[in-house]
Structure formats: C-alpha cells, structure tokens
Structure 1
Amino acid sequence: MESQIQQQEYTTTPEGMPASEPAGTLALPPAPQSNAQLKKLGAQVRAFLDELPEYIAKFYNENQKPITVVLLIVATIVTVKVVLAILDALNDIPLLAPTFELIGIGYSAWFVYRYLLKVETREELGQEIQAITSQVVGSKK
C-alpha cells in the first residue's frame, strides 16, 4: 500500500501566464481618492485647526477648577519626586548623612533647652504659637 502524492502542475511557459503590462513598466494602483475629495478633506482639517484654540478655551472655561486641581496634584507629585531624588543624592555623599543627623540632634537639644525647660520660656512659646495661629486662622472676637 503505497500512498500516492499528487503533484501540482506548474506552468513555466509564457502562454500560461496572464497578460500583463509590457516588460519594464510598472502599473500603479488606482488612486483611492480623487483630488476633489483630498481638497475637501484638507478644508475640513484646516477648519478644525482654525477652531481648535476656541474649543480648548471653551473646554478650559467649563472645567477650570478640575483642571487646576489635576495640574496642582501633578505638580506636587513631580516636586516631591525631585526633592526625594535630591535628598537621595545628598545621602549618597559620604559623611553628609551623619552630619545632618548631628545637626538635627543639636537643634533639637537647643530647642528643648531654650523653650521647654523653664516655665517662663514654655509660656513664651505658647504665646508665640497662639500669635501665629491667630494670624493664620484669624482671631476670635
């Protein structure tokens, strides 16, 4: 039992080929759109681009608060990332991070000594905090 494989016959003679353009010439496909259609499309695009600033201004005026909030959030995120990148770069400098820690410890010790050890200085600190609070929030009258 032999399996028989049928081979397709291929024509290699010019008679079997469909008629085409003469040798050496290329046939271009027909243009999908006429010049009138292209001019109409160009006019529509030009009209849209002419009215685009008006569309943007109208959209901004209608949605001014949400756009401002979104831009502020994005600006805050970018600012925080930049500050963190700068701090990370500073922390990579040898001996700078321990120096900042010592400065922080020294300032905290000075603050405790200046404002928190004595009763008079604690009262002075309380008055300063009340003054700043009344400036920010407003005084109660």
Structure 2
Amino acid sequence: MASASSSALSISSSSTRVDAKAPRQTTAASPQCVTLPTLPPPPVQSQSRPWKTTAYCRKIARNVMAMATGEAPAEVATAEMPEIVKTIRDTWDKVEDKYAVSSLAVAGIVALWGSIGLISAIDRLPLVPGLLELVGIGYSGWFAYKNLFFEPDREALVQKIRETYKEISGSS
C-alpha cells in the first residue's frame, strides 16, 4: 500500500500474494521503508488557452449549424479568397492531364530533395568545398576583369543583356 504525506511518499509492502509469488514480509517485521521525494506541482495553465479553445469550438458549432440549415457560414460568406488562390484554382481547372502535372510536381520535389542530399554529401567531403569556393572566387574575378573594369567592356555587357531580354520577352 502507498501512503502519502506532505513532505514525502512512503511505500510499504503488503502481506498479500501478488501474481502467485511468495508473501512479502509486513512493515512491522521489516524496518526498511522506501521514501520518495514529493512531486512538483503541476504546471499552471494560462487562462487565455481555455478561452481560445472555447471560442474555437463555438465557431465550429456555429458553422455546423449554419451548414445544417443550408446557410453559408458568416466567415466564409463575407471573406474573399486572395487573388493568388483564385489564379491557382483557375489554372488547375484548365489543366487537362492533372495526373501528369501531379506526377511532375512530385518528381520535382523528389529531385530537389535528392539534389540537396547530394550537395550536402559533397559539402561534407574535406577538400571539395574549399576547392569549389576557390573556383567560384577565381571565376568571379575573371568575369569582373573581363566585363566590368573597362568602360567599353561594360557597355558591351549591358548591350548583350538588353538584347537577351528583348529575345526572351519578345518585344522589339
């Protein structure tokens, strides 16, 4: 049996059989007693938490009652969807082969996940990250020297960027 006091918890043995084992000695015959420290008080919950839960439950109940009567819930009827959600929904409705688009999306996510794993594996190699950083710094320096230091080269670069932009955008 267990008895609790204000400062400690005492556990004493009983003389009854448990799981067909031999009976234990009583506390009178055994002066040993196990004393456990008291448990800390349970954490105090914030007063705003039950209020939020109650308000949320009331909101759900109000929406269920409105749907049961055939009315639209007040929040849904008055709130408009953002423009991007409407655009995505319209675009998805126009797609003819949704299975292929979904498969491509999943394949893209898997490819992104795999490439992140590959890059992190390469990054863990002792020599490769430093070597790649050195190559990047060298290429950046070469690009700056070739295209940015002298004025005729800068103007040629700006002209090339403008031509490429016109080709991509299709404007004349």
TM-score, length basis structure 1: 0.50
Greater relative contact order (Cα < 8 A, sep 6+): 2
TM-score, length basis structure 2: 0.41
> Is the strand fraction higher in 1 or 2?
2
> Is the helix fraction higher in 1 or 2?
1
Larger Rg: 1
